[in-house]
Structure 1
């Protein structure tokens, strides 16, 4: 990225390293109406829609999924053989690439389409995406359950099915499917970590050195890299596990192509609901 590009991103995204300020350091004063942050009218309304029922669902999913992770991890180790180390390495690489792509697909879908007013999924699933664009650092104020509850919910059933197979399938079938099960297990692990990586990409203070080292090496989602997504209208760099696939997908114009197809077929405008919340004052 050119220096001009980096300056543009810094001046047109929330200055997160200044803790929810609403003016860039180069401008010297705040606008009358916050452009973003917890004082934004839309952010306040969206934050108030986080319910006790949603919290309970997230808590159950985090606990249940965590137990299944431990159970499946132990069972995979039980059936591990020394020659399987190559399988683990390949499964890890494919798993993290798949998780990165899926994070982009879900992120793009929830950012671009749908409405908070939709039954069930609106307030339960789309609401956090709308809040995040007008108050990006809200995620840094969320605890582990609120940050990761939805991702743990997504992988609950696949992990339950995996455990069922381990307990009911004969040994020879388990060995025959071991490569696939290892890939699926590592994929679920990376999916479960995705929103934590995302949270760290918005955390400019107090991160342990080992996390910032992983970010600097672009092993997990870096802060400067993800900031590109937070320049309105939030139409690029959707992958948030590692961000590795953002470069090739951007070069292919993958997301605009999908948006053009959907808009042509349905007539719906991308990011229409997102813009509505951003304009609240």
Structure 2
């Protein structure tokens, strides 16, 4: 296994010990200079952000979750109906590429939402950037969210992908479907992993009562492992943004992909990365 970007000491000193959730315990936690909670629901910024979760946002999440699940079921049966054994190798390669795409997409969205923008922005601020700010201040808050709140936004992203796939299955001839079956396999697995990204993310913050099959997937790094994701939660949260499988985190870090993008954007716009994130982190009573 590759050596992580952060050392074990840095991770312990600068991230919340999630096997003792919200206790704000760390190597430095008993120092006299600690006057306010570093993490958890006690943090003033985390409390303000949690209170911004609105009924309208909840309604959007419910609609997206149910729509996405219906499309998942429909597309699954259509894929099974049109599956041919002679295309199995092509389908597996396409599906693998779909998973890689989902992992990169999770990193791109996560990096953009963590690094840029403000909760005060119209529409997207409170609806979509707020959860990212809250998560850094109270990382285990995601474990207290129900299925709807956890997955609503990712299911929303997957809906148009799954709807496009269903439309193609329902409007094309069998010959056309067979010709494009690799693309269909790619789009389906990409959509499923996009939809499930935040559930996988939630599992990476869950230290009790996980099903054995989830632990197996984490331990074999088929989905995002808990120890791996903890690297991201070392302040100032500037690395390891991919949260579906996490496979791309190490290579992207090695080529300095995210810092390079930040340098270019800061040069062109003058905006400082993670300025809004830092503003919320500094809120105290």
* TM-score, normalisation: structure 1: 0.96
Aligned to 2:17: 15
More helix, by proportion: 1
Deviation string 1:21-49 (CA, Å, 9 cap, x unpaired) is 11226754793310110010000000001
1:51–1:27: structure 2 CA closer, same or farther, 3 Å change rule? closer
Deviation string 1:87-130 (CA, Å, 9 cap, x unpaired) is 22112211111111100000000000001011111111000000
Q: Which runs of 5+ in 1 are unaligned?
A: none
Aligned to 1:217: 220
Aligned to 1:176: 179
1:163–1:252: structure 2 CA closer, same or farther, 3 Å change rule? same
Structure 1 position 277 matched with structure 2 position 280: yes
Aligned to 1:230: 233
**Matches of 1:218 and 1:97 in 2, distance apart?**
13
Q: Kindly tell me the number of residue pairs found equivalent between the two proteins.
A: 281
1:4–1:47: structure 2 CA closer, same or farther, 3 Å change rule? closer
Output aligned runs, 1:59-208, within 5 Å.
59-208=62-211
**Which aligned segments of 4 or more residues in structure 1 are displaced greater than 2 angstroms?**
1-4, 25-32
Check whether the contact 2:115–2:275 (CA below 8 A) recurs between aligned residues: yes
Check whether the contact 1:23–1:29 (CA below 8 A) recurs between aligned residues: no
**Matches of 1:2 and 1:137 in 2, distance apart?**
22
1:58–1:4: structure 2 CA closer, same or farther, 3 Å change rule? closer
**Matches of 2:261 and 2:41 in 1, distance apart?**
32
Deviation, structure 1 residue 170:
2.0
Aligned to 1:36: 39
Aligned to 1:254: 257
Aligned to 2:7: 5
